[in-house]
Amino acid sequence: MIVSNIKSRLRSKSVTSILLMLIMIFIPIQTAFALDAPIQSLDVNGTTIYTTGGGYNEAHGISGVTFNTDTKILTLTDTNLESISSSGDLDIQLVGTNTLTATTDSSALLAMGGDITITGDSSSLTIAALDSSSPAISIGAGGRLTIGEPSNSITVTVSQGFLVNCEDTYIVEGNTFTAPGGGGEPPAGEPLQLFIDGLITIDETADPQVTSYEGEGWAIEYSMYGGYQINIDATQVSTFPYITGSGDGMISINANGGDITVSENVDNLSVNFDGSVDVLFGMGPDIGDVQFVGGIFTEGNVLGGDGDVFVGTSENPAPFGIGASEVALRFGNLTINSVNQALYYYNPTPAEGEGMLISATQNAILTVASSSIATENVISALVLAGGSIDLSYTTGLGTFIPQAGYWTWVEFSGTDSENVDPIIVDCVEGTHADDKYIMTSGEGTFLLQSTAKALYQLGYNYDDSDDSRVVNGTVNVIAANGYKFVSGGFYDFSIEEGTEVTIELIPNYGYQYVSGGINGNPTFPEAGRASYSFIMPANHIHISAIFEENPDIIDLETDLISGANITLPEGEINGNAELLIDEASEFDTTGFVEAAGEYEIGSYLDLSLNELIYKGSTDDAWRTTITELDSDSSITLKLGDSLQDHAQYKVIREHNGEITELDAVYDPTNDTITFDTDGFSVYGLAYYDPANPNTNGGIIGSVAMGIISLIGLCGVELVYRKKIM
């Protein structure tokens, strides 16, 4: 039972932290989205309302929600919703009283990479995040939140949660917007007080709150991600004072442009928090290493960044290492030299099933280089994605469950989150290729290594450059070793280095692929619908795919039809339609003749439809046969010479064994027949001439009329002559 609880706790807490760190890897990428970008997709309550490729989903079934595809405005009429997220700009028009109450910790209202504009007349919107530490409204970095419009008035209220990237909020005169701190106020909780070298710098207990501070060569500012950034210019500061505080919250220690050393207080601690404060470290290419003279203590978590972190040195080990709830690394390494415990749970008397969790992923190495006791009240040690845990001790290793995890190959079927949780196994001594780990131990040593490789992100539409945009089409990641999850309505894919990735590059209807690439990696067409495969490199990659307009293809294989065109409903196919028309053969005509009645069948035609997607050029393409559509298409046939000049026409179709007469419109001026159809198979064109002189009755009638006319002419002549005489 204890082991089961540990696994459950591990998966719910440790993996969550790992996912958080993985998401944070890509924050700089995601914030590079271009603003003022047309909306590409829109989800309400997790249901897709609109995409550029599929148009407006009129069958979404959400009361009070409509979307105008021309103006790209989402209208809310007396709605009670859970979430709204878009890729690109989001324009909302309010009617009546509306609420938006999040049921997850994702942002209640989000415009990924765009601005948000909310308008209406004498209406309101109340927005509540899941809790005070979750985002309520999020927009693209550098974007604008606009409330209201001239001559009308609305009220927008954020009742719970904080704002992300909403520093530029414009409230049109006469409109009302209220939110906690206007986006700069930290989430609620036990108020945080932060001291640097004993000097208070951040004070959430004050009125008004103090949420920023600037020192010589360093500054503290509140981050849109819900914590405080301690930004240290390592070119000016080499030794930074000790850090202490109380309350709940999150800090990130960022050594910018070089390495720094953090001194210790009288308790031999470089970081000491009385409360649950998560301690993070910087991310990015310019982040340096951080050396702590003393230990780290917090009731929260210690989460590694891109740089390396050291607690103590081999020459001067720290009295204590790290006391926390969890220690989790990704990319950057952690090395501890400690006189006593190296890794220990902050509560010396934990309840049953409680204890510290330690993990290393993304090739990170957690090393206890020296210690008396390597771990105390640690319940699990987990390695994933190439991570390692290497412990040395003189007195005791501690008791914990060693575990390894890895992500399997998966076909992404289109759900929001897939394969997010890795397979986790309890480890035993030896090399285990199938479960992707190696565990060895000896006198005073313990080593647990993940033989899986690191995961990197695959994405697109990160900025305005052509090498990372997808325009007039869609990228689908079909399968890979890794997982997919949704961050604010935007799909993210984390994929293991060195494994095969299969993607589709799908143009919108009426477009074809003209240029693009995958970080310069070659792609190889596979048998399938616009499918490509490549090997995931050891870095994040972006995909570009530019699609341009292209006409549909009409292929006539018979002289009975001299021209044709087809118009398809939106969202039925991708790329172009290829309509093939030929004379039908080897089929039963009985049903056609019966349906024609007094009409004469002039031709039998085989109409077939393909979805056509080019493989980068018109020389080669994927063709997918379409026998039936969800909605009717409109087809116009221009009749050849042999089918022209009849009085009436009839279109008869045989599809799936059923004979149907279709409504058709004949245009005698252009000799065309137009009809709607959703099935592609054999068609019969029949005609009828009520008074056609080419029939037998018509011939007799013509002869009689000729005789009568001749007699009449003769009679006229006789009368004429008589009058002369």
pLDDT of the residue at 468: 61
**Per-residue confidence (pLDDT) for residue 669, from 0 to 100:** 93
Which tokens in the block code for residue 452? 């899986």
pLDDT value at residue 7: 34
Residues 542, 581, single domain; the answer is no
Is the CB of residue 296 less than 8 Å from the CB of residue 311? yes
Per DSSP, the three-state class of 333 is coil
At residue 148, the 3 state secondary structure works out as coil
Tally of structural domains, the chain: 5
Q: Which of 69-78, 325-334, 359-368, 418-427 has the lowest mean pLDDT?
A: 418-427
Q: Are residues 569 and 470 in the same domain?
A: no
List strands edge to edge, sheet with 90-95. 65-68, 73-77, 90-95, 116-120, 145-147, 169-171
pLDDT of residue 490: 56
Which tokens go with 412?
Answer: 């992404």
Amino acid in the structure at residue 61: G
Q: Which of 430, 326, 337, 312 is nearest to 378 (CA)?
A: 326
The pLDDT value given to residue 608: 95
Write the DSSP string, 652-695. Answer: EEEETTEEEEEPEEEETTTTEEEEEEEE-SEEEEEEE-TT-TTS
Nearest to 240 by CA among 201, 274, 210: 201
Last residue of a domain, one of 495, 520, 549: 549
Say what the pTM is: 0.63
| Residue 464 confidence class, pLDDT cut points 50, 70, 90 | very low
Higher per-residue confidence, 552 vs 421: 552
pLDDT in tens, 655-675: 999 999 999 999 999 999 999
Q: What is the pLDDT of residue 700?
A: 42
Q: For residue 618, what are its two tokens?
A: 């018109």
Q: What is the pLDDT of residue 529?
A: 67
Give the span between the Cα atoms of 463 and 29, in whole angstroms. 9
Q: Are residues 154 and 245 in the same domain?
A: no
User: Tell me, what's the pLDDT at 567?
Assistant: 92
Among 96-100, 471-475, 581-585, name the one with the lowest average pLDDT.
Answer: 471-475
Per-residue pLDDT at 399? 94
Long-range contacts of 581-584 (CB under 8 A, 24+ apart): 581/554, 581/555, 581/556, 581/557, 581/605, 581/606, 581/607, 581/637, 582/557, 582/558, 582/606, 582/608, 583/557, 583/558, 584/682, 584/683
Average pLDDT over residues 480-501: 77
Of residues 186 and 533, the one with the higher pLDDT is 533
- 423 touches 406 (CB < 8 A): yes
> Kind and range of the H or E element at 577?
strand 576-583
Q: Which residues lie across from 101 on neighbouring strands?
A: 128
pLDDT tops 60 at residue 186 = no
Domain stops at, among 496, 514, 549: 549
- What pLDDT, on a 0 to 100 scale, did the predictor assign at position 570? 80
Rounded-to-integer distance, Cα 539 and Cα 249, Å = 32
Q: What's the whole-number mean pLDDT along residues 188-202?
A: 87
In whole angstroms, give the CA distance from residue 298 to residue 301.
7
416 pLDDT more than 90: no
From CA 211, how far away is CA 203, in angstroms rounded?
7
- Looking at the fold, whether 381 and 248 belong to one and the same domain comes out as yes
With a cut of 60, say whether residue 313 has pLDDT above it: yes
DSSP for 155-186?
A: EEEEEESEEES-SSEEE-TT-EEE-GGGGTSP
Same domain? For 525 and 642 the reply is no
Please say which residue of 131, 160, 183 terminates a domain.
183
Instruction: Write out the residue range of the structural domain in which residue 708 sits.
Output: 695-725
Q: What pLDDT score does 513 carry?
A: 77
Share of the chain above pLDDT 90, in %: 53
Q: Which DSSP helix (H) or strand (E) runs through 194?
A: strand 193-196
Q: Tens digits of per-residue pLDDT, 691-716?
A: 654 444 444 444 444 444 443 434 43
Give per-residue pLDDT as tens, 581-591. 999 988 999 99
DSSP 468: G
**How much is the average pLDDT of 141-165?**
85
> Is the pLDDT reported for residue 485 higher than 90?
no
Question: How many angstroms separate the CA atoms of 193 and 224, rounded?
Answer: 18
d(CA 343, CA 198): 26
- Structure confidence by residue, pLDDT tens digits, 673-685: 999 999 999 999 9
Closest CA to 74 of 83, 152, 470: 83
- How confident is the model over 476-496, as a mean pLDDT? 76
Averaged pLDDT of the chain: 83
What are the structure tokens assigned to 703, written together? Answer: 């002869």
The closest alpha carbon to 166, from 148, 139, 134, belongs to 139
pLDDT given at position 77:
95
- Does one domain contain both 402 and 253? yes
User: Pick the residue with more confidence: 293 or 17?
Assistant: 293
Mean pLDDT calculated for residue range 595-619: 88
Kindly state whether residues 202 and 260 are assigned to the same domain: yes
Q: Are residues 297 and 404 in the same domain?
A: yes
Residue 422 and residue 571 share a domain: no
154, 119 contact by CB (below 8 A) = yes
- Same domain, residue pair 133 and 205: no
- Distance in angstroms (rounded) separating the CA atoms of residues 36 and 144: 10
**Res. 28: pLDDT tops 60:** no
pLDDT higher than threshold 70 for residue 565: yes
Give residue 653's pLDDT.
96
Which residue bears the tokens 């390494």? 333
Q: Which two tokens stand for residue 556?
A: 């006539």
pLDDT of residue 29: 31
Q: Is 609 exposed, middle or buried (0-12, 13-18, 19+ CB in 10 A)?
A: buried
Residue 462 has pLDDT above 90, yes or no: no
Residues 288 and 327 in one domain: yes
Q: Is the pLDDT of residue 63 over 60?
A: yes
Same domain, 640 and 505: no
Over residues 443-471, mean pLDDT: 77
